[in-house]
Structure 1
């Protein structure tokens, strides 16, 4: 039998951490290790999963679970799982943040899932980087961490020493990415097949719906946003929007982009594509009829805009997300 030092992957148990993610990623990693053990003829599982928990806000985390307590190794990766409810307050994870900084300084990889990225961001190690977070949390994340760029189109961003994933269930994507890195693509593919989950490569924008910024404090722009919602972004002109906001056109454009993070044209495209998603998923109209219904007279232009925003063509989106009859 071949021997090798196991790769230790730790999971942080901070207050209200989602237990389903903690246990799920533990099972995924140990199962992948078992597959590698069988195929490589190893003496023991090459993956060691440990759970770490701080007993108070002032004490660093310690091991509270160890899948291979008799084998020596050092932390290679620490995963910060998602949290149920609102992102955790900084003071509640202060000692954990300091501990994470130390793990990283010693060469460890830090990874997070969904709201766990808020904990990771408190370390300061994400500043000037691009990370991903759940689309519903993006606005609050950007407000709390203005030095970090958030890309909500991506389900997972691997920045070598920092890996962030977006949704509550994206621990599956993170787990498979770690398996691929440490155990190879063959073990990763076999693990995905056994668990019947998609291999890495999905994008968050396949799933996320348009969530406009509304808490920006500009009442004139907010009035326009509410009106655009009622007309679904169809058949509008810059002159109409500026008049509704009681602003000069150039002033309106500047304030609209500052408040919403996008131009008025991009905003209307998002509204129309959001409406098209629902029509494709729940209705039976052809793609051409859907294009016309949401305000596009040219189906080809609609397909281009839809694919750019969603990452899938209208037909691919319908095929993937339309409920199938029992």
Structure 2
């Protein structure tokens, strides 16, 4: 039987505490229906008997204090509130316990922006990780030694797991259930909770908003030029010349400031504009393609799918209300 410790953290997102407990408990019930023993022993653990959530609006009572948990097999780190720095400060005392348990053989799974606390332990240095797409730039800035995998729903490396944004943590929970029980049980859980199993990417949900919290003013102006000239075909050479920077130096500075190469940035800006046209207008795919400065249908579709995980027509059918009708 796997011992699972669900961390109760200050300023944790309540659902990311309740949902893992509910899913693992449900699997125990499914096993009981088969006449099999439970697979999981669940404990909600924390630094105190009661932990405040939502600025003290309500409290969660723990089953055990961290100091009393001598050994566990899996630690679940719930999602944290949007005020990441405050949440990390409030929960920094749990970090030594996580590190100690991992060194003793425990695996650790972070849900959504709980990845920030997992990364704060140092255990992710030199490893890959997922988190909510909206917080990707902040994560990279704070943890440059961690490889953030853009768009991924799940990452797993050396007993450390992480999930993408918001409800995608359900897919990580299914992944853990399949690993610790079997595929049949994971499918049963996916049907019970109405979750699409094996979902791999959060890319269709991501909204690109270029990283501008840097001090390189010419690069910021280059970003603004790209964003205000989305219908134009812009080359890296043109940008470098416009801002009087040698091309190679420009590319290095751009990548350092924005976490994207100039070409990647241009593509992302254009595809974000295309997504909005597909969501909100009656324009066909070719019309949208021309609106965002593409003339090659194959190139447009290739870049669109690379960034969103869907073809333009699949995206339009998924998100355009009139297309659905």
Q: TM-score, normalised by structure 1?
A: 0.87
Aligned counterpart, 1:115: 113
Distance change >3 Å, CA 104–CA 316, structure 1 → 2: same
1:214 deviates by: 0.4
Contact 2:277/2:283 (8 A) holds in 1:
yes
Contact 1:233/1:269 (8 A) holds in 2:
no
Deviation beyond 6 Å, 4+ runs, structure 1: none
1:88 deviates by: 4.0
Q: TM-score, normalised by structure 2?
A: 0.87
Aligned counterpart, 1:201: 199
Distance change >3 Å, CA 238–CA 159, structure 1 → 2: closer
Quick one: distance in 2 between partners of 1:175 and 1:207?
20
The counterpart of 1:95, out of the listed 80, 93, 96, is 93
Quick one: distance in 1 between partners of 2:225 and 2:212?
13
Count of aligned pairs between the two proteins? 308
Quick one: distance in 1 between partners of 2:107 and 2:314?
35
Aligned counterpart, 1:52: 45
1:222-233 alignment, distance < 5 Å: 222-232=220-230
Quick one: distance in 1 between partners of 2:320 and 2:153?
21
Q: Encode CA deviations 1:145-188: one digit per residue, 9 max, x unaligned.
A: 12111112211102240001121222211211111111211111
Aligned counterpart, 1:31: 26
Residue ranges of structure 1 left out of the alignment (5+ in a row): 1-5, 57-62, 67-72
SS in 2 for 1:75: coil
Residue ranges of structure 2 left out of the alignment (5+ in a row): 50-60, 65-69
- Would you say 1:79 and 2:89 are equivalent positions? no
Q: Decide which moves more: 309-318 or 265-274.
A: 309-318
1:95-244 alignment, distance < 5 Å: 95-232=93-230, 234-244=232-242
Aligned counterpart, 1:69: none
Q: Decide which moves more: 84-93 or 267-276.
A: 84-93
After superposition, the CA RMSD in angstroms is: 2.3
Distance change >3 Å, CA 238–CA 75, structure 1 → 2: closer
